[in-house]
Structures are given as C-alpha cells and as structure tokens.
Copies of this chain bind each other. A is one copy, B any other.
Amino acid sequence: MISEDRMITLDEKFRALETENAPGQEIRQEIGDLNAIMRGDKFDGIPLDFSHGDVDAFPPTPGSSEAWKYGFERGGQQAYTEYRGAAQIREGLAERLGAFTGKPVSADSELIITPGTQGALFLALGATVTVGTKVAVVEPDYFANRKLVKFFGGEIAPIPLHYQGSLSDNGPDLNRLEAAFKSGTKVFVFSTPNNPTGLVYSGSSIAAISELAAIHNVTVIVDQLYSRMLYSGEVYTHLRACDIQPKNLVTIMGPSKTESLSGFRLGAAFGTSSLIDRMERLQAIVSLRAAGYNQAALDTWFLEPSGWMDKRILEHEAIRDELLTIFRAAAFLTATPQAGSYLFPQLPPLSVEQNTFIQLLRHQAGVTVTPGTEFGPGLSDSIRLNFSQDRAVAVAAAERIVKMVEVYRK
C-alpha cells in the first residue's frame, strides 16, 4: 500500500505545469491595470523579447531550408520514418555526435531523433520516472525539468548550484548530490552549460557526477543543448566520455539554439540502448516521430560551412561582454556565461514583486524577460535573458532594464 498523498490529482498536476510566465507565453497573460502602478512614462526604444533567441538576427544554418525541401521531395520514405528517425539520417548523425562527444554512438541502437530537445527531455524522464521515483534536480536549472518530474509523479531532491563565486568555487553541490544518491535517488537530470546561468560544469565535477552515479546506480540525463557555443578559453567535458560510466546515461542535444533551427523542432538523445528503446516506445504514443521532412535538416548539423560556427560564437561573445559590462556597472551580480546565450543577472531589491516588475518591464520598456522563479524556488531577484539578439537592439534594451530598476528600486 502507498499513501494517497503520493498520488496527485489532475488539478494538482496541471497547477504544477502553469505556463503563464513561461518564455514565449507572455502574450497570454492577463495584465491588470499596470498604468495605475507605472511610474513615469513609457520608454522609447525598439521592443525586444529576451525570452528566446532571435532567429532573424541569427538566421538558421545555411542550407537548412534546402535540406527540408530535399526531404519533402524524397516523399514517402521521408514522411514515414521509424519512430526513432530515418535510418540514413541517424547514421551520419551518430558518427558526428560520437566525434563531438568523444565516444562512438551506435546509429541503430543508441540514438533517437525527437521533436526538439524538449521532446528528448520529455521522453528521457518519461522513460525513467514514475510515481514515487526520486529525482535529483539542480537549482537553478531549466524550468521544465522540475515540471516533468512532477508530471510523472516523481519526487524532487534539490541540488544547489553555486554560480556566482569564483570559477573554482562554482558548480553543483557534490555533497548534497552524494547524499541524495545515497538516500534513494534513481535519476539525476541537469544541463551543462547550465540554463539559465551559462555555467559549464568543470571536468572534475563531471567526473565526480559520473562516478557517483556509477556507484549508486543512478540514471543520468544530461542536457548539453548549448555545448557547441563555447566561449574563448573555456573547456567542455562530455560526461559520456568519462572513464567511469553510470550504467544508464542519456545525453541530449539539438540544433534549435546555436544553429537557430528552433522552427524545425529537432532534437537528439543518445546513450544506453535500453533507455533509447523505451524513449522510442513512448514517442510512438506522444507524437510518433519528429516531423519527417524536418529530420532532413539534421543533415546540415555539425556540417556547417567552414568558419560559420566560429563567427557565430564570436558574435555572441561580443554581445555577452557588452551586456555583462552594462549589468555590472549597475551592480547587478551577474555570472559570466561560459557557453550558450543565457544571462542570469540578480537585481537589487525592488519595491514591486518580481512578476509585476517583469510585466512593467514589458509594458513600459518593451523588454520581455523570464522570471528567475521559473528556474528554481527562491530566485525571485533574478531574471533570465537570451542574448542571441541583434547586438545594438540588445544593448539598448539592457540599458532600459537598468533604467527600470532605478525607477522601481526599493
């Protein structure tokens, strides 16, 4: 017998899935009378949505649209692929993912193509979490991780991430992680680079996680979505290439972000074949497969024109540095993103609630950001920005954020 309190009702389940403040959904918010609390006039400036990257400023990989068209013209065999994705696309992709992550991937048994990395995360957690499963979740981390665990009925063991200290101090709290692993945690899910802070887990953290998971037989799901956009001087460690490996490991990547292929909804999960099998079975009832023609765009992934990725990284690094300068000049504590395009500044105490400030920011200053509370409880003083934006527009918008903070400072 298990107690009723471990069961959640549908109402509770869907309260936990609240999307009102989720990035991109701001348009559905019912805004109260902001004019009544707004101080001063609206700001001039080009509106900017920092909730996701701007694929107009950083367009999709060259050739991706042509690859889609080629897929369309291939007809039936591309429309109806295996649920795990077209075999000939998986073959090339497995080779390139193996080379990138430092360990071979079997195209036949260790790789599944999914509708975005969100799709991959859903399948990975669906394949490993059920009612009562204890799951270690980093705070802060990608907001869907917590929601997914709750949806499947799992229990969250929170693992603090230190991200505002020196490089050597930063990283997950490994003592807390070990304690969680010792007390029945079955699954550990995390992102590196971390979303929302841009922290890249160090080689020693990754090795420790891999070894702890091996010892305590914990399944590891590592979201490496932004691992290609690595800034100068940074080093990235792939958990799947560590010497000591957990028995069950799934790595998740996708071309949505750095490569701006979000409009294609493509992701990839690779790792332990028994988990990939389960993920495919689940995909069969969730959405069958990533859209067939779209899968063809993966033929451009890791095969971008020479120099294209380097240029993209340099451009993002320049924007990162400008925004860091602006926020630090205003004394917002802001960690330096080592990879990816998220920035997570901590704001000083304000005279209005975080969500009110964020709505005012949108209404008065034309700037959309995502509240820190989406990434972990207690982060009501931080906001997340995706700085994959037009440089000049982003700089002006960051300056408006600073001005807004001045207006509403406590």
Report A's interface with B, CB cutoff 8 A.
1-4, 7-10, 13-14, 17-19, 22, 24-25, 27-28, 52, 54-56, 59-60, 65, 68-69, 71-72, 75-76, 78-83, 87, 114-116, 118-119, 122, 127-128, 130-132, 144, 147-148, 151, 153, 260, 262-265, 278, 280-282, 284-294
Among the listed B56, B59, B79, B132, which residue makes an inter-chain contact with A263, where contact means beta carbons less than 8 Å apart?
B79
Is A17 within 8 A of B52, CB to CB?
no
Query: Number of copies of this chain in the oligomer?
Result: 2
Output the nearest chain B residue to A128 by Cβ-Cβ distance.
B10
A224→B80 CA distance, assembly (Å)? 21
A54 partner residues in chain B, CB cutoff 8 A: 76
A132→B69 CA distance, assembly (Å)? 46
A79 partner residues in chain B, CB cutoff 8 A: 55, 260, 262-263
Q: Contacts A17-B285, A24-B82 hold; do A292 and B265 have CB atoms under 8 A apart?
A: yes
A10 partner residues in chain B, CB cutoff 8 A: 127-128, 130, 278
Among the listed B24, B148, B286, which residue makes an inter-chain contact with A83, where contact means beta carbons less than 8 Å apart?
B24
Is B80 within 8 A of A69, CB to CB?
no
A284 partner residues in chain B, CB cutoff 8 A: 17, 19, 22, 25, 144, 147
What's the least CB distance linking A10 to chain B, in Å?
5
Is B55 within 8 A of A65, CB to CB?
no
A4 partner residues in chain B, CB cutoff 8 A: 1-2
